[in-house]
Amino acid sequence: MLLALLVAAALASLLIHVGSFAVVGRLLRVPIDEVSLFIGPAVVSRKVSGFKLKVGAIPLGGYVRFAREFYEKAALWKQLIITFSGCFSLLVIACLCLGPATAVAMVGNLFLVIAESVVPTSEARALSIASSSAFLEQATMAELFGAVAATLCTINLLPLTSLNGGHALLHIARAIRPIGEKAEGVLSIASALMAFYLTVLWVVSLVVYLF
């Protein structure tokens, strides 16, 4: 039952996150080419209001692809508002479900835990998993939804190029000085390796905790 609730909360949070990009982009008059729930090859795909709407085969994340020629020429403030709109929506959900103070504290604590967990021998991961397990055992549905939203908000704010935090840094860097494709490629590879490294550490810690 708990697993089903977690999956439902994650899916709802993902829909809010991705949907916010599309809504804010439309409001700022930036044309949309594609909106995708999940990644990878399309399982379902259709044209809606002039853009492609699809569900990917790999149930991880999602994205909104804006018309490149319009998005890259958009003002920096528009790019940043769009980039942070998903995380802002998740933070609002977390505040509504947990209360503003608890939600903000949770996001801040998660940042600290992730930063500390970069060290392989750090106990931050094990302590976080244990405290999260205790929280989930007594959390209401609203609290569970808020915690999932806060977690996804925090992860997406990390400074990795595949996440919103990294996108924002790239937008700012490009506004200051153009970045070559080679440099962006190196940054993308480095970010992917860091994401893989962190994922492995957390998966190992979770397996150790469970068994």
10-residue stretch averages of pLDDT, the chain, 211 residues long: 87 96 96 93 89 92 93 94 97 97 95 91 90 90 95 96 94 89 90 94 91 83
Residue 37 resides in a domain? no
CB of 44 closer than 8 Å to CB of 50: no
Across 49-108, where does the E strand assignment appear? 51-66
pTM, 2 dp:
0.92
Tokens read off for 111:
């940042």
Residue 141 resides in a domain? yes
Residue 80 resides in a domain? yes
Residue 151 pLDDT: 96
Alpha-carbon distance of 30 to 25, in angstroms, equals 5
Environment class of 206 (CB within 10 Å of its CB; exposed 0-12, middle 13-18, buried 19+) = middle
b or e along 25-40 (b: 16 or more beta carbons within 10 Å of the residue's beta carbon)?
A: beebebebebbbbbee
Residue 77 pLDDT: 97
What range does the domain containing 151 cover?
A: 74-210
Residue 197 resides in a domain? yes
- How many domains would you assign to the chain? 1
Residue 50 pLDDT: 84
Residues in the chain: 211
